[in-house]
Amino acid sequence: MGLKSWRRLAIASAALYSAALVARAGPAPAGEAAREAPVRAQAALTKKPAVTRKGDGFEIAFAVGGETDVAVDVLDAGGKAVRRLGAALLGAKGEPPSPFKPGLEQSILWDCRDSAGRPATGGPFKVRVRLGLKAEFDRFIGWEEMLPLDLGMVMIQGIAVGPDRSLYVISNQGAVGSAGRSETRIWVLSKEGKYLRTIYPYPATMDPGKLRGAEFLSDEPNRLAPRIYDRVCPSYLPQMRAVLRQSMAATSDGRLVFINGFCTELYRFGPRCLLVMGTDGSIPRERLDGPTIGAGVVSGYTHLALSPDEKSAYYCGLNTGEYGKPQHVLSRVGLSVSDKPEAIFGKASQAGAGKEGLNDPRGVATDKEGHVYVCDFANDRVVVLEADGKYLAEMPVKGPEVISVHPSTSLRASSREPVERPQDRRCLRRVHARRPFDFAQGFKPRACRAASGEPGRSGPARAN
């Protein structure tokens, strides 16, 4: 399947259609009337979603009136998505990804399984078809007057969502934070932005056995006295001074993967290396730092994404030397301390384009199929690669710098960062789905439903 139709990336919706799953052959009966709000012409459905029995599963059929983004999900009785059936741009040139087919009229099969491949539970179920997707600002979840952002000059340098849906935040804090002469901290916030705890610097009650590779002045129980590795930028673990702006990743088993810094206003240091820390502040391997990804002093704000099996990381954003030009390359490295990095696409010292090169790559993400998405900033595109770096496709995006992929649904998101002042990085932002167009049908299915067998919430209609 081609990937060219993944050119419009989105994390929100402008249209919502719902239909319940019926356990019999034939079209779904009509439900209550549609409730319409103004939508773009290209985001209109010309054929409302209909659900029919097909073997051991169901077929969902619908049609759109023109080029538009589409996302199709199966929801349980509580409205929670249990399976993403697909997301694509329909009506554009090129072949859309599976399970979609070329054209504006579509039919998709659901095998009654959830996203993990298990029989779906929690019915009765509904199918949701969303069109005209776009991102929209939701709310601030942290600001300067709110803990822990009110503790002096704070700069947010990286964020990642952990397996428990907590938000892990790398920050620099101190009197001269913008110059890098500050203390690196890692906080944990709830998804609502409430401060929960600090995992670095680690507390005096930390078990020293969980901080492998670290040195201490005293390891007396509950009175741990750490070695100070740097006094200008206080650091209590190797390579944890002045950690700079980057994208950070979190694994499903509770590891944070990020990259160390390279300088302060007063001095520079190296090498650049990968850091792996537990979400509880522990060190889950023989030491925190390693493998090395840049010998000596190597500048650059880094971007990082994990492979689907979480055994290796893709990264870009390093420069050539202290304050040199960008390295026009995407690299991959394993997460073991002794692993060696390899360049898999582009040439470090040569700007490129097309199917062989990059020009100032600034963001990277992966999806569950193993595809790699690279923000090729100076070429105004997102490049799509196979796991080994083989070119697959590209999507035109003006000056892309940040890209992410939803871990379970493979729904893509991309944005351009404006030129920002240091204080602009002192807040956290969250986006949400916008749904100005709703349509609902309610039916009582005879199969693929929860034991309660309650009818759909939006109408009294039943399957005969």
What average pLDDT does the segment 267-290 reach?
A: 95
Q: Is the pLDDT of residue 37 over 60?
A: no
The mean per-residue pLDDT over the stretch 303-309 comes to: 95
Question: What value does the mean pLDDT take over residues 432-461?
Answer: 28
DSSP 236: S
Considering the segment(s) 139-431 as one domain, its CATH architecture is 6 Propeller (2.120)
pLDDT band at 136 (very low <50, low <70, confident <90, very high): confident
Asked whether the predicted pLDDT for residue 151 surpasses 70, the reply is: no
Q: Is the pLDDT of residue 388 over 50?
A: yes
pLDDT tens-digit map of 240-253: 988 989 999 999 99
What are the start-end ranges of the E strands in 132-194? 136-142, 154-161, 167-176, 181-189
Q: Could you tell me which residue, 8 or 144, shows the higher pLDDT? A: 144
As annotated, the residues of the chain forming the CATH 2.120.10 domain(s) are 139-431
Q: List where CATH 2.60.40.4070 sits in the chain.
A: 16-134+434-439
pLDDT of residue 98: 83
Q: By the 8 A CB rule, do 403 and 382 touch? A: yes
Confidence band for 145, pLDDT divided at 50, 70 and 90? low
The C-alpha atoms of residue 284 and residue 276 are separated, in whole angstroms, by: 7
Q: What are φ and ψ of residue 209, in 5° steps?
A: -65, -20
Q: Of 122-126, 131-135, 335-339, where does mean pLDDT reach its minimum?
A: 131-135
Tens-digit pLDDT profile for residues 225-274: 999 998 888 899 999 988 989 999 999 999 999 999 998 777 888 899 99
CA distance 453 to 104: 34
Nearest to 131 by CA among 73, 178, 173, 172: 73
For 365-384, the pLDDT digits (tens) are 998 889 999 999 999 999 99
Taking residues 393-412, report their average pLDDT.
75
pLDDT tens-digit readout, 187-217: 999 988 888 999 999 999 999 999 999 999 9
pLDDT range class, residue 31, cuts 50, 70, 90: very low
- Whether residue 79 has pLDDT greater than 70: yes
For the chain, the residue count is: 464
Q: What is the mean pLDDT of residues 90-105?
A: 87
Calpha distance 320→25 (Å, rounded): 63
Q: Measured between alpha carbons, how far is 94 from 230 in angstroms, rounded to an integer?
A: 55
Q: Is 107's pLDDT higher than 80? A: yes
Question: What CATH topology corresponds to 16-134+434-439?
Answer: Immunoglobulin-like (2.60.40)
pLDDT value of position 228: 92
Q: Are 302 and 364 in contact (CB under 8 A)?
A: no
How much is the pLDDT for 458? Answer: 27
Phi then psi for residue 283, to 5 deg, are -110, 110
User: Can you read off the two tokens belonging to residue 405?
Assistant: 């992929």
Number of helices (H), then strands (E), belonging to the chain: the values are: 0, 30
Measured CA to CA, the distance from residue 319 to residue 298 in angstroms comes to: 6
